[in-house]
Amino acid sequence: MSFKTYFQKDMYDILNSEKVKGLQLEKLRLRMQHFYVKSLLIKIVLDAMDIVPSEITMEQFRKAVPIRLQREAAESGASMVSDDANIVDQLASLTGEDPQNFKLLCSTSGTTGDPSPYFFTEEDLEYAAQGFSRGLYLLNNGDEEKIKQLRVLQGFALSMVGAGLPAVETFIRLGIPVIPVGAEGGTEKIFYFTEKFGANFLFCTPSLAEYMLDTQPDRSKSLGLNRIMCGAEPGAGIPELREKIQTGFNCKLCDAMGLVWGVMFVSCDEDEYQGMHFLSDDLAIVELVDPDSHAHIPFENGAIGQIVLTPLVGSMPPIRVSSGDIVQVFTDPCKCGAPGWRMKVIGRSDDMLKVKGVVVYPAAIDGVITGFAPRVTGAFKILLEEPPPRVSPPLKMKVEYSEEINEAEISSLSKEIENEMHVKLKVRPQIEMVPPMSIDRATYKTNFFEKLYEDT
Ligand SMILES: [Zn+2]
């Protein structure tokens, strides 16, 4: 197995074209016919609406198939089997698979709710490698010799999540050496094995990269990395954070999303962030919807909405599943020349805040705070006195000042940050400045909220 086994240049060159859109509908109809026989749920849904699987239109599809969050999608098989069935049997019922065909049984971390299961059959693992190969091709400008030189330090949590063991399996399939330390190993081991095993590509959350930089800046700079690929939370898309990580490690930073169902989003190396290129529109359909009403939002340059994915390959039937991410899409060609429309993640539907009707996401606040470095460390917390999204003004926050400023400057710094947030985000917070390293650091995903209402 190697990169060549999985990468299809013919498809890569026509991504985001009218030809692929035609192919999507063709595939959707074939998949509907296939699952009409195989999955009782799909049969019930289509029969209820009098839809002939081989003739389904995109409009009918959107009407017939409701949007579900990842975990709900897995559970929708439940009604087909007994109440006490385990989730493997539920997914087997939904997909029409023999349970033993699921070769890798994983789930999301559950940081923002219950963990969502996702399982890989052999075919699913093949598609994951296919999608990922396209991302590596884009990042290396098609230079396969460069791809052969990659040596990956896996710094995401290894346990359960898609970026963990499934990603390790994907690197192996693509013929890329991988060092599976995992976030559980701790940053000391990540430093140690990057140095000792000569890794040149770090695969981790931006929180972990930032933590490495904050705690061991000199060692980070001399690691000899060529690239950090981040995911699971906004990183490369926040200009101040991108600058901090790229300068701090003296390497390139990109962000990526996907893997499951062959979905691959990856950002290119343009100086100004252009969003993540979508490199899998033959493998999955992407839609945008309103986060509250789930109404369809036309897919136009600059449109903002909640992202919904429909797999067109692998074991999952063509259901509409959302990770809850709120994104902006860019359909005009990218300056880098790579194919695929792009998207920028601006928040998650479950971390959205509304302050006097103004919508604000922690990722946007993160950008403003990081812009005040080196006077701040970059760490902050949003104090919530009631369950989100509603926030009674003012929005209360704790922000860490750094060791680089003296006490007399602290209160004017907090005023400066409050003003900057008012200008950039239209929200004027009330900030309490706190000493360096007094806020807990995450090495997996940063939790921006302190939920005061849960303590009372
Ligand atoms: Zn680009």
pLDDT digits (tens, 9 = 90+) for 343-375: 999 888 888 898 988 889 898 899 899 899 899
Order across the sheet with 390-391: list the strands.
Answer: 358-360, 353-355, 390-391
Distance of CA 339 from the midpoint of ligand 1 (Å): 8
| Cis peptide bond upstream of 374, omega within 30 | yes
CA of 265 to the centre of ligand 1 (A): 11
How far, in Å, from the CA of 366 to the mean position of ligand 1? Answer: 24
Phi, psi for residue 64 in degrees, rounded to 5 = -80, -35
Q: Please tell me the predicted confidence (pLDDT) of residue 74.
A: 57
Q: pTM above 0.85? A: yes
**What distance in angstroms lies between residue 330's CA and the mean position of ligand 1's atoms?**
10
Give me ligand 1 centre to Cα 342, in Å.
8
Q: How far is the CA of 109 from the centre of ligand 1 (A)?
A: 30
Domains of the chain: 1-282 (3.40.50.12780), 353-454 (3.30.300.30)
Model pLDDT for residues 66-102, shown as the tens digit of each residue: 888 765 665 555 445 555 668 888 888 889 999 999 9
Ligand 1 centroid, distance to 333 Cα (angstroms): 8
**What's the distance, CA 325 to chain centroid?**
8
For residue 64, pLDDT beyond 50: yes
Q: How confident is the model at residue 110 (pLDDT cuts 50, 70, 90)?
A: low
Question: What is the distance between the terminal CA atoms of the chain, rounded to a whole angstrom?
Answer: 56
DSSP annotation of 37: H
Mean predicted lDDT score pLDDT of the chain:
91
Do the beta carbons of residue 153 and residue 190 sit within 8 Å? yes
Span of 102-116, 271-285, 411-425 with lowest mean pLDDT: 102-116
Taking residues 47-58, what's their average pLDDT? 95
Contact assessment for residue 251 and residue 240, using Cβ atoms and an 8 Å cutoff: no
